[in-house]
């Protein structure tokens, strides 16, 4: 039996979207391939509220995260971490020999604009990474306020991880001044994992030109220059299966309407938060609570794995806590094509299993 996924990626994929992955292959050096990849880039620009170039990478989101920090750090990177995915960005910098410092917030707390100001005022850094939506703690950082600080430092490259939020909440890349905004397919976009996407500003391109060792597969400058010359074709063979499905899914997203889609996510988030407050506690403060998933404190000390076994028998799956939060929290994702009704049935089923 298929279990309906309420885990924060991979998410359930609509049957019609899955079918698009079975589209017969085309040559990756054909006009059709150019048109397909150009079409995706145009639609992604709308979704991301940007006029910047879009890069598509056959990898999960981590690939472009590693590529960004490696390709564009000239001096030193300031990595702001509010959990597992910020920590990972720091590990990526370190293992690529990119000079970097990590600025961690207490678990469940955001990166504050003051923290960013304090770090940048030292003049040591020329690249900043921010996690927009941290999937371990389910907090959304105050990026509007952070962006205001970033504006004071126009030479610093602003990278943002929107892997678990792009497509589920409004993120206006150009308004925020984000130079490299990264996402991947298996979360709010509602596709299988395997493709990551980023927007990239001219400023980031110019920065990359000053970096001698950018790696190869995830060299953002090479990807950028290649698609300019080769009409949106990429240096290596891309997952065309993902391309067909993403192009189609972006049409579905536009047909739903971006505001409608963001509102649907918000309504589901509010419903889950209210449920969490009623039966357990939220990990995040309301002000920083994520719109795409909720991390709930396990105040009743339930066995999340037993709960998931029972849910599994009924055709559902939720997620335990991540890393250090494994047993003390659990997570419910409400993203991509999940509808309010699906969520209500899930929460009722949890109540019934736990006798709440
Ligand atoms: C899932 C996730 C990642 C990692 O993305 P992959 O596509 O699994 O490589 C990075 N950051 C955040 C916030 C995520 O939720």
Closest CA to 220 of 240, 206, 230, 233: 206
Alpha carbon distances (Å) from 316 to 271, 311, 346 = 18, 5, 7
**Ligand 1 close to Cβ of residue 85 (< 6 A):** yes
Domain contains 310: yes
Q: Where a domain ends, among 254, 287, 302?
A: 254
Residues 159-178 have pLDDT tens digits of 999 999 999 999 999 999 99
* pLDDT at res. 219: 98
Q: Where a domain ends, among 188, 222, 254?
A: 254
Please state at what angle helix 340-354 crosses helix 304-313, rounded to 10 degrees. Answer: 120
Do 30 and 163 fall into the same domain? yes
How far is it, in rounded angstroms, from Cα 110 to Cα 82? 6
Do 76 and 219 fall into the same domain? yes
Q: What is the chain's mean pLDDT, rounded?
A: 98
Rounded mean pLDDT of 277-287? 97
Relative to the CA of 185, which ligand 1 atom is closest? Answer: 7
Which residue's alpha carbon is at the smallest distance from atom 12 of ligand 1? 163
Rounded mean pLDDT of 6-32? 98
Decide: residue 115, CB within 10 A, 0-12 exposed, 13-18 middle, 19+ buried: middle
How far is it, in rounded angstroms, from Cα 140 to Cα 188? 14
Domain contains 78: yes
CATH number, position 262:
3.90.1150.10
Express as a percent the part of the chain with pLDDT over 90: 99
Instruction: Look at strands 329-333 and 319-320 and give their pairing.
Output: antiparallel
Domain contains 31: yes
* Number of domains observed in the structure of the chain: 2
Whether the Cβ atoms of residue 43 and residue 247 lie closer than 8 Å to each other = yes
As beta bridge partners, residue 139 has 134, 289
With cut-offs at 50, 70 and 90, classify the pLDDT of residue 92: very high
Do 269 and 246 fall into the same domain? no
Give the pTM.
0.98
* pLDDT at res. 216: 98
How far is it, in rounded angstroms, from Cα 233 to Cα 215? 19
Rounded mean pLDDT of 222-234? 98
As beta bridge partners, residue 181 has 160, 199
Residues 99-150 have pLDDT tens digits of 999 999 999 999 999 999 999 999 999 999 999 999 999 999 999 999 999 9
Rounded mean pLDDT of 174-194? 98
Rounded mean pLDDT of 269-279? 98
* pLDDT at res. 223: 98
Domain contains 300: yes
* pLDDT at res. 327: 87
CA of 85 relative to ligand 1 center, distance in Å: 7
Rounded mean pLDDT of 322-349? 96
CA of 35 relative to ligand 1 center, distance in Å: 28
Do 90 and 169 fall into the same domain? yes
**Ligand 1 close to Cβ of residue 141 (< 6 A):** no
* pLDDT at res. 285: 95
* pLDDT at res. 303: 96
Domain contains 147: yes
**Ligand 1 close to Cβ of residue 126 (< 6 A):** no
How far is it, in rounded angstroms, from Cα 16 to Cα 23? 11
CATH number, position 196:
3.40.640.10
* pLDDT at res. 1: 86
CA of 353 relative to ligand 1 center, distance in Å: 30
Q: Where a domain ends, among 228, 254, 280?
A: 254
Q: Which domain holds residue 347?
A: 4-9+257-354
């Amino acid at each position: 039996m298929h279990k309906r996924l309420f885990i924060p990626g991979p998410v359930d994929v609509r049957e019609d979207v899955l079918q698009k992955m079975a589209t017969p292959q085309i040559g990756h050096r054909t006009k059709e391939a150019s048109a397909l990849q150009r079409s995706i880039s145009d639609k992604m620009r709308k979704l991301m509220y940007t006029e910047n170039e879009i890069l598509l990478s056959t990898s999960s989101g981590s690939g472009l995260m590693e590529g960004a920090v490696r390709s564009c750090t000239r001096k030193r990177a300031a990595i702001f971490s509010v959990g597992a995915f910020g920590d990972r960005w720091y590990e990526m910098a370190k293992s690529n020999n990119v000079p970097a410092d990590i600025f961690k917030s207490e678990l469940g707390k955001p990166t504050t604009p003051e923290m960013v100001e304090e770090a940048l005022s030292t003049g040591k850094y020329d690249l900043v990474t921010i996690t927009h939506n941290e999937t371990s703690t389910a907090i959304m950082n105050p990026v509007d306020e952070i962006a205001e600080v970033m504006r004071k430092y126009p030479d610093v490259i602003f990278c943002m991880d929107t892997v678990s939020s792009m497509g589920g909440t409004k993120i206006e890349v150009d308004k925020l001044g984000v130079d490299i905004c990264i996402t991947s397919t298996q979360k709010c976009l509602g596709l299988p994992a395997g493709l990551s996407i980023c927007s990239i500003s001219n400023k980031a391109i110019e920065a990359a030109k000053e970096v001698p060792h950018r790696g190869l597969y995830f060299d953002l400058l090479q990807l950028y220059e290649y698609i300019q010359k080769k009409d949106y074709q990429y240096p290596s063979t891309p997952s065309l299966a993902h391309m067909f499905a993403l192009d189609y899914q972006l049409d579905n997203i536009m047909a739903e309407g971006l505001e409608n889609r963001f509102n649907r996510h918000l309504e589901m988030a509010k419903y889950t938060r209210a449920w969490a407050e009623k039966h357990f506690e939220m990990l995040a403060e309301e002000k920083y609570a994520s719109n795409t998933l909720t991390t709930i404190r396990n105040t009743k000390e339930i066995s999340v794995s037993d709960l998931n076994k029972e849910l599994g028998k009924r055709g559902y799956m939720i997620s335990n806590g991540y890393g250090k939060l494994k047993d003390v929290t659990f997570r419910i994702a409400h993203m991509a094509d999940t509808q309010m009704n699906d969520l209500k049935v899930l929460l009722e089923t949890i109540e019934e299993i736990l006798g709440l």
